[in-house]
Amino acid sequence: MVEESVSSSASEAAPYRVVVVGGGFGGLQAVRKLRGAAVDITLVDRQNFHLFQPLVYQVATGALASAEVAAPLRSVLRRQENARVVLAEVGGFDLEGRQIVLDHLPNGQREQRLDYDTLVVGGGSRYSYFGHDDWRAYAPELKSLSGALDIRNRILSAFEAAEVEWDDERQRSWLTFVVVGGGPTGVEMAGQIAELARDSLRLDFRWVDTRNARVLLVETADRILTGFPPSLSRKAERALEQLGVTVLVGHTVVDVGPVSVSIRSGSGQIEDVPARTAVWAAGVAASPLAAELASAGGSSVDRAGRLTVTADLTLPNHPEVFAIGDMVRVVKSDGTDMTLPGLAPVAMQEGRYVARVIRNRLRGRTTGPFEYVDKGNLATIGRSKAVADVKGIRVSGFAAWVTWLVVHLFYLIGFQNRLLVVTRWTFSFLTRGRGARLIAASRAEDTE
Ligand SMILES: Cc1cc2nc3c(=O)[nH]c(=O)nc-3n(C[C@H](O)[C@H](O)[C@H](O)COP(=O)(O)OP(=O)(O)OC[C@H]3O[C@@H](n4cnc5c(N)ncnc54)[C@H](O)[C@@H]3O)c2cc1C
């Protein structure tokens, strides 16, 4: 049993058991801020690394290698003696018995139980295909490392296919890229594909002119970057167009297949765009752990699948169960919603808050409700352009891009990763090159 092999020996040193599910932005902060506390922490994650999602799109376009945006959880917590890591998928919760159910353990075991005194769940979110999960095969999501590597393979393979394609129409379809969703991820992705085609690959191909690539960014709303003020959305749109991206606001993707993407315009007309490569960056839904926890604790989820938690981030009637990050909706004591964006700083601040509550409880002290400090919003568009909205100060262009670089380097986990990323960025900036352009698998057979 896991509770025998994982918990009991550690509990001799620290009797109070805190189990944290998810080593993402929220969960990892909670663990790290409990360093030195008289608790025995078990961090459970189904992957053995913390993924820095804000830079995953750079892996998908060959600008960074996967190890540079991920940090092994064991190495992150190497010096934190009160924390241990268990690699497993959490499949369920028994809140009455104060146990979680672990599945897919690395030794092949399933349905093992792990005891806790306090539980913190930060399972994150995933992309929603709006009920069209069959589109996933043709438009992979940019959420996981495997998704990013899949996208990188597809993009690079599309250019390779275009190089050996003699039929003009088919070549055009290989050179057409559709990015679905005009949020920060879609904007960053579209900008990077355009730069890849215009700059990085231009001199590497002999037959095909990669500058002829078409990049379509499709957004249902009437502007991109709806989380930013309209003036910055307009600037971002102009910057994308300068890079050669066609921005289709007020348009909706209504079908995705192996060789085409159907796009409906605002007037209702549907166009089938021949395109072999699509990237999904639209519609976020909470981790299924939110629904599991809601049903175990008699709580509810909203339309995006987010679990309702109270102002101290606990499950109603379960003060020993915290849920944080993308998977939750926080409701204040007066019943109103806190409407927090699905951003890393929100999850991190929630993780830090939970650690503070746990420490205070151990000392017999109370803690006030969670309050979010909005430090601003950033999105990059290309090699030297970005938009930033920091406490009402709106910046765009090079200054915003430098801010974006500094902020991302600051929050990236691991000194080695920071050093590698800054070296790669400097090299790419000077040479317009991309070092991580390997195709790990061919896809031509999938699409014929
Ligand atoms: C491509 C992309 C770009 C982004 N860019 C930005 C940005 O520029 N700025 C910004 O602020 N935010 C950005 N975000 C959003 C930000 O990454 C999220 O808000 C943040 O990761 C949420 O943190 P979290 O702790 O809730 O979840 P996550 O960081 O997603 O962590 C969830 C963890 O839970 C684990 N997990 C999930 N289910 C299970 C299970 N059943 N069993 C065990 N483990 C499980 C996962 O493996 C993962 O490690 C971006 C997101 C994406 C996808």
Q: Encode pLDDT of 228-259 as tens digits.
A: 999 999 999 999 999 999 999 999 999 999 99
111 is catalytic: no
Q: Which one has a higher pLDDT value, 174 or 13?
A: 174
**What is the number of the ligand 1 atom nearest to the C-alpha of 327?**
26
Question: How far away, in angstroms, is 124 Cα from ligand 1 center?
Answer: 5
CA 279/CA 142 separation, integer angstroms: 7
Question: How far away, in angstroms, is 25 Cα from ligand 1 center?
Answer: 6
Return the closest-CA partner of residue 329 out of 303, 348, 366: 303
Question: Which residue's CA is the nearest one to ligand 1's atom 44?
Answer: 45
Question: How far away, in angstroms, is 244 Cα from ligand 1 center?
Answer: 30
List all residues whose CB is within 6 A of at least one atom of ligand 1. Answer: 21-27, 44-47, 53-54, 56-57, 89-90, 122-124, 142-143, 184-185, 287, 289, 325-326, 342-345, 347
The percentage of residues in the chain with a pLDDT greater than 90, rounded to a whole number, is 71
Q: Are 177 and 155 in contact (CB under 8 A)?
A: yes
Q: What is the DSSP letter of 197?
A: I
Q: Which of 53, 151, 329 to mutate to test the pocket of ligand 1 (most atoms within 8 A of CB)?
A: 53
In the structure, what pLDDT confidence band is assigned to residue 420 with cuts at 50, 70 and 90? confident
The class (CATH top level) of 5-127+285-362 is: alpha beta
pLDDT digits (tens, 9 = 90+) for 94-128: 999 999 999 999 999 888 999 999 999 999 999 89
Match domain 130-281 to its CATH number in 1.10.150.120, 3.50.50.100, 3.40.605.10, 1.20.58.220. 3.50.50.100
> Which residue of the set 188, 195, 219, 292 is catalytic?
188
Query: In whole angstroms, how far apart are CA 310 and each of 325, 333, 335, 337, 368?
Result: 13, 7, 9, 10, 12
Q: Where are the alpha helices (DSSP H) in 196-276?
A: 230-242
pLDDT digits (tens, 9 = 90+) for 291-322: 999 999 988 999 999 999 999 999 999 999 99
CA 45/CA 36 separation, integer angstroms: 22
Q: Is 152 helix (H, G, I), strand (E, B) or coil?
A: helix
Question: How far away, in angstroms, is 13 Cα from ligand 1 center?
Answer: 31
Q: Is 61 helix (H, G, I), strand (E, B) or coil?
A: coil
Q: Where are the alpha helices (DSSP H) in 248-309?
A: 288-297
Q: Fold identical between 5-127+285-362 and 130-281?
A: yes
In the structure, what pLDDT confidence band is assigned to residue 426 with cuts at 50, 70 and 90? confident
**What is the number of the ligand 1 atom nearest to the C-alpha of 345?**
11
CA 422/CA 276 separation, integer angstroms: 33
pTM: 0.91
Question: How far away, in angstroms, is 88 Cα from ligand 1 center?
Answer: 17
Sequence spans of domains, the chain: 5-127+285-362, 130-281
